[in-house]
Chain A
Amino acid sequence: GQSLEQPSEVTAVEGAIVQINCTYQTSGFYGLSWYQQHDGGAPTFLSYNALDGLEETGRFSSFLSRSDSYGYLLLQELQMKDSASYFCAVSRANDYKLSFGAGTTVTVRA
Chain B
Amino acid sequence: DAGITQSPRYKITETGRQVTLMCHQTWSHSYMFWYRQDLGHGLRLIYYSAAADITDKGEVPDGYVVSRSKTENFPLTLESATRSQTSVYFCASSDHQTATDTQYFGPGTRLTVL
Chain A contact residues, CB within 8 Å of chain B: 8, 31, 33, 41-45, 48, 50, 87, 91, 96-103
Contacts and interface: CB of A to CB of B under 8 A. Distances in A.
A43 to B, nearest CB: 5
B45 A97 contact: yes
B51 to A, nearest CB: 11
A43 B58 CA distance: 19
A31 B100 contact: yes
Given A43-B90, A48-B101, A97-B33, 11 more contacts: A31-B101, A33-B102, A42-B105, A42-B107, A44-B105, A96-B48, A96-B101, A97-B45, A100-B35, A100-B43, A102-B42
10 contacts: A31-B101, A33-B102, A42-B107, A43-B92, A43-B105, A48-B99, A98-B103, A100-B42, A100-B43, A101-B42
Interface residues of B, number: 26
Nearest to A8: B40
Please give me the 3 A-B residue pairs with the lowest Cβ-Cβ distance, nearest first.
Answer: A48-B100, A42-B105, A102-B42
Contacts, number: 54
A103 B106 contact: no
A45 B41 contact: no
A30 to B, nearest CB: 8
Contacts of A48: 99-102
A5 B75 CA distance: 31
Interface of B: 31, 33, 35, 40-45, 48, 50, 58, 90, 92, 94, 96, 99-108
Contacts of B92: 43
A31 B50 CA distance: 19
Contact of B43 (A43, A44, A50): A43
